[in-house]
Amino acid sequence: MEHPFFSVVIPLYQKEKFISRAIDSVVFQTYRYFELLVVDDGSTDNGPKIVSHYKDKRIRLIHQENQGVSAARNRGILEAKSDYIALLDADDRWEPDFLLEMKNLIDSYPDCGWYSSKRINYYKHKKKELSYSNISKGVVDDFFKIAVDNDIVHSSSIVVPKQVFQKIGGFDTNVKTGEEDFVMWTKIAANYKVCYTDRPLTWYFFDELNLENRLKVRDPDHFYDMLEEGNYYKNEFIADLAIHRGFLETIYGSREMAKQTAQRYNFTQIHKSKLRKLRLYNAVPQKLLFIFYRILKELVLTKRFLVKLLKKRNQKKASKKSIYNRR
């Protein structure tokens, strides 16, 4: 195989239902010069077997004992032959032009710390485009300022030069609650310019069960030590991440950690309303809050079901009316 321009890294753990979707989205890229490294992180399902059935010589399956997603990504980065690392989660997928667009960005805007695209969130059979930046394509002058109101990076929509990982370090294997991505993005954006396109080229499939499983792990606040005196927007970005984590903790996890978050990030100016809401939640008995959110979730699901049912009913009526009119 010709020397690949991209090394695509997919960490794999218990994703047998989705891994084919992810791999197919890579194999059918319009830009062909890549290798695909699937790092099996000790899966006990049929995921690795599914990967082994692919005969594409660009695909390499790497096995390791279960160490977590950060260790799996780091292993893939270490084994990569190319100078650019494209990350993709095993349950997400790309549009066919993702790598081609990333190649164009790299050629047009060299020396950036990462290259990313707009993503589409998919949840409960509904899709929603994210990343509402007014930047259409190019270098983001101040990522932390933009990120206050815009979501322009995700672990399945990003390409990072390998030398950036070599300088910054790999993903933190001590972070166990899904925040390892944000820790890495914060480090990169603090040291490099970053590049973005508003073309929606990545699909993120929300996994609610995975979120709840991560919350069962007790993890300290990994953001607090990243605060930087005098860096207003970076600190506000970090506060937003931490407060979001605080909401999850106060509903599903540690009330003590949620209260600590409300105290530590009391300085925020941009996210004052979120902080007040977190304090309010912290004052409500956790069991009551949990029950409330479960009921709210069921009501939302019921509403969606009824709307869908009504829509089908109206479509049937319209179809019957159309047939009657043709007669």
DSSP secondary structure string, 196-218? EEEEEEEEEE--HHHHHHHHTS-
User: What Cα–Cα distance (Å) separates residue 24 from each residue in 62, 85, 95?
Assistant: 18, 18, 10
pTM for this structure?
Answer: 0.84
Which residue intervals of 109-173 are DSSP H helices?
143-147, 162-168
Sign of CA dihedral 245, 180, 101, 109: positive
Tens of pLDDT along 240-263? 999 988 988 888 778 899 999 999
d(CA 197, CA 190): 20
Give the DSSP H or E segment for 288.
Answer: helix 286-326
Which of 180-194, 282-296, 307-321 has the largest mean confidence?
180-194
Tens of pLDDT along 19-46? 999 999 999 999 999 999 999 999 999 9
d(CA 121, CA 280): 29
Q: Is 37 helix (H, G, I), strand (E, B) or coil?
A: strand
Q: Is the pLDDT of residue 294 over 80?
A: no
Mean pLDDT, residues 57-65: 96
d(CA 160, CA 125): 30
d(CA 260, CA 258): 5
d(CA 261, CA 129): 30
CA 107 to chain centre: 25
Q: What are the extents of the domains in the chain? A: 6-212, 220-283
Architecture of domain 6-212: Alpha-Beta Complex (3.90)
Beta-bridge mates of residue 117: 197
Tens of pLDDT along 129-171? 555 556 778 999 889 998 887 888 899 999 999 999 999 999 9
Q: Which residues of 43-78 are buried (b: 16+ CB within 10 A; e: fewer)?
A: beeebbebbeebeeebbbbbeeeeebbbbbbbbbbe
The pLDDT assigned to 213 comes to 53
